[in-house]
Amino acid sequence: MNAKRFVRPAIWLLMFVLVAIMVNNFLTGGDDPQEIDTVQARGEIEAGNVESALVTGGEVQRIELTLQDGEEVWAYYVDGQGIELVDQLHEMHESGDLPGGYNVDIPQSNPWVAVLGTVLPLLLLVALIIFFISRMQGAGGRMMQFGKNKAKLASKDAPKTTFADVAGADEAVQDLHEIKDFLQDPAKFQAVGAKIPKGVLLFGPPGTGKTLLARAVAGEAGVPFYSISGSDFVEMFVGVGASRVRDLFKEAKENSPAIVFVDEIDAVGRHRGAGMGGGHDEREQTLNQLLVEMDGFDVKTNVILIAATNRPDILDPALLRPGRFDRQITVSAPDLEGRHRILEVHARGKPLAPDVDLRTVARRTPGFSGADLSNVLNEAALLSARNDSKVITAKFLDEAIDRVVAGPQKSSRLMKDEEKRITAYHEGGHALVAAALHHTDPVHKVTILPRGGALGYTMVLPDEDKYSTTRNEMLDQLAYMMGGRAAEELVFHDPTTGAANDIDKATTLARRMVTQYGMTERLGAIKFGSDSSEPFLGKEMGHQRDYSEEVAGQVDEEVRNLIENAHQEAYDILVRNRDILDTLVLGLLEHETLNKEEVAEIFAGVRMLDDRPPWTGSPRRKPSDFGPVEIPMKISPNGSEASDEHEGDDAGTSEEQPPVDGSTPADETTGS
């Protein structure tokens, strides 16, 4: 039984007793009698004005006289005249001169009562003083512990996370295997003069498993694992964060080999001196101390710092240099195979129906992180339990994906028939334009059921993962986005606000094509605008326009041209396939949702859009315009020089040669 539970009630009880004693003393001792001297008392007695008398003894010795007129007076008596008055009253009583009576009340006092009445208040007062002093010392102790680190040490009894629990991040696991091997057997690396990285930085989008990887390293190595957040270092008092950093690394070194994991390190490791109004003294001092502690690592320290962030661009350069975070590991969203293995990990312990194919689920979830995939399976399990199903079926998984992508279905929202018809043509326009273009992803689902903030949606998904996007693919995306607006104009001649999100996305993509990707012939392959903004400034304030007003007008014109051309392409497709659009809308109005197979059957006879003219880019001079071209010497496989056998006019059009080191040119990729 915990004795601390009874400390506070006992203290309050003692305080109550003390107050009660003080109140009692006040009440009993505060009713002072009217004091008269012995001369006055003797005069009243001799004059025969006394009706009765009461003599009391004890702590207060007094004579209480009740006069003939009913008035009561008191007189204290002591040795001398007081004793004579008592004797005189006694004689009067025997002679009958006191008709009201004469009483003597001298109580026999208990010595322990007197002792307690004197000592107990003192004891209670001392107890209260000791209590308040201890409270002040406790507060002072907590103040002294303010600079202690708040890191949580993983318990040995807790379930361990291993690399078997990590899927979809093979490259990161391979890099972290070395950390585990070094912690288990550092002599193996020291024998060949190898130095293990002092720090490992894991960065990537949220939910990709950075914290899970750090725990897996600790679980595999079996060493103490200190986990702390970057925000735990920063306090309102300057110097506290630096003190906590020193305490954390001191404790880790005393228990080495150990792993220190700092999650969200951007909270303390931001670029120093950036932003408006100066820096943050507490954060910068904490970062300085962190840099000093990492420099203090030596080969025999056996303490490794692992940090995680999804914003590596705002970290201080001194934190990222070699000798601090020597190894930087990107933890990106998993590919198709990675998603499949992640689903298998999270499906452990969940009863799946025979019709569930996790690979199909992985194909339907491109761009999902590990946290998203875990959420999909959890949502499917919740739906199964809600419908009193013992297993998770493919239907529940399909609904779970839709919930994660677009939000829960709003079955309570009632739509008028006319509004439902407009929504059907809008979504049908998206789907039909996507099917009639050459570089769009297949249509997987079309629905007019309200979900999230949308009245309906069209889902197009790639059959395989893609890591770059071509110009024609982006132009097709623009036409697909404008398909809903074009369908409303074609059928109703009165567009609605339902295309607001489509127009926003299309404008953003078109502006990126012009200013970032160099996808226009007029402006060429030039990047307009600088994104190297300060970390603490807003997006609009941080964006710098490094081009003239004339160029800004040209950028706006090119964006407008891209949007208008995409809009026209979508309109032409819908006009050419109006009968298929009407058939699709009838199916949507009847079934409300059409899957991939049903949509493909309706689009079997769709008339495709004509191919666009080939991309010519900015005008360039031909090689012959530069005059004679010197033919470089080729390097043979054995390293000797060999002259080119092709001479003459074909030299200028010869195929590009690989670099002299034998490596192939890197593929040019463009982010979408």
pLDDT tens readout for residues 418-472: 888 999 999 999 999 999 999 998 998 899 988 877 888 898 888 777 788 899 9
Q: Is-contact 438 608, C-beta < 8 A?
A: yes
Which strands make up the sheet holding 593-595, listed edge to edge? 457-460, 443-447, 593-595
Which pair of tokens denotes residue 415?
A: 């739509």
* Strand bridging mode 443-447 / 593-595: antiparallel
Which pair of tokens denotes residue 76?
A: 């204290």
- Return the closest-CA partner of residue 501 out of 565, 406, 364: 406
Residue-level pLDDT at 282: 67
Structure-model confidence comparison of residues 36 and 292, the more confident one: 292
Show binding-site residues. 204-211, 426, 430, 502
pLDDT, tens digit, for every residue of 164-174? 888 888 888 88
Which pair of tokens denotes residue 388?
A: 């009193």
Angle at 225 between CA 223 and CA 231, to 5 degrees: 165
pLDDT, tens digit, for every residue of 572-604? 999 999 999 999 999 999 988 898 899 999 999
Look up 427 and say whether it is catalytic: yes
Residue-level pLDDT at 559: 94
Q: Which residue has the tokens 């493909």?
A: 600
Mean pLDDT of the chain: 75
Residue-level pLDDT at 581: 93
Residue 641 pLDDT > 80: no
C-alpha 145/C-alpha 164 separation (Å) is 39
Residue-level pLDDT at 502: 92
Residue 565 pLDDT > 90: yes
Cis? peptide before 257, omega within 30° of 0 = yes
Q: What average pLDDT does this structure show over 361-383?
A: 89
The whole model's pTM is what?
Answer: 0.64
Least confidently predicted of 231-235, 295-299, 508-512, 565-569: 295-299
Domain 163-272+280-330 coded CATH 3.40.50.300 = yes
Hey, which residues does 308 pair with through a beta bridge? 202, 263
Which pair of tokens denotes residue 143?
A: 């103040």
Other CB atoms within a 10 A radius of the CB of residue 258 amount to: 23
**Catalytic residue of the set 220, 251, 264, 427:** 427
Structure-model confidence comparison of residues 142 and 653, the more confident one: 142
Structure-model confidence comparison of residues 627 and 648, the more confident one: 627
Q: What is the DSSP string of 482-501?
A: THHHHHHHHHHSS--GGGHH
Q: What is the DSSP string of 354-384?
A: TT--HHHHHHT-TT--HHHHHHHHHHHHHHH
Confidence of residue 209 (pLDDT cuts 50, 70, 90): confident
Q: What residue type is 666 in one-letter code?
A: A
Residue-level pLDDT at 274: 60
Q: What radius of gyration do the chain's Cα atoms show?
A: 45
Show binding-site residues for Zn(2+). 426, 430, 502
Structure-model confidence comparison of residues 472 and 290, the more confident one: 472
Q: Which CATH architecture has domain 31-105?
A: 2-Layer Sandwich (3.30)
- Return the closest-CA partner of residue 459 out of 468, 451, 469: 451
Which pair of tokens denotes residue 315?
A: 């970290």
Q: Give the start-to-end residue ranges of the domains of the chain.
A: 31-105, 163-272+280-330, 336-406, 417-526+551-603
pLDDT, tens digit, for every residue of 79-119? 555 666 776 776 676 666 666 666 665 555 556 655 666 77
pLDDT, tens digit, for every residue of 294-311? 776 655 667 788 888 888
Residue 141 pLDDT > 60: no
Q: For the chain, what percent of residues have pLDDT higher than 90?
A: 18
Cβ density class 595-608: b for 16+ within 10 Å, e for less = eeeebeebbeebee
C-alpha 574/C-alpha 566 separation (Å) is 13
Residue-level pLDDT at 155: 56
Residue-level pLDDT at 243: 75
Burial class (CB in 10 A: 0-12, 13-18, 19+), 200: buried
Structural element, H or E, at residue 458? strand 457-460
Q: Which residue has the tokens 């009632």?
A: 414
Confidence of residue 480 (pLDDT cuts 50, 70, 90): very high
Q: What average pLDDT does this structure show over 537-554?
A: 69
Q: What average pLDDT does this structure show over 142-150?
A: 49
C-alpha 522/C-alpha 619 separation (Å) is 9
Structure-model confidence comparison of residues 245 and 551, the more confident one: 551
Q: Which residue has the tokens 């490094």?
A: 546
Alpha helices in 222-367 (DSSP H): 240-254, 281-295, 317-320, 336-346, 358-363
- The CATH number assigned to the domain with range 417-526+551-603 reads 1.20.58.760
Residue-level pLDDT at 548: 85
Residue 417 pLDDT > 70: yes
CATH class for domain 336-406? mainly alpha
Q: What average pLDDT does this structure show over 139-144?
A: 46
Q: Is-contact 382 399, C-beta < 8 A?
A: no
Residue-level pLDDT at 211: 84
Candidate ranges 323-327, 405-409, 425-429, 527-531; pick with highest mean pLDDT: 425-429
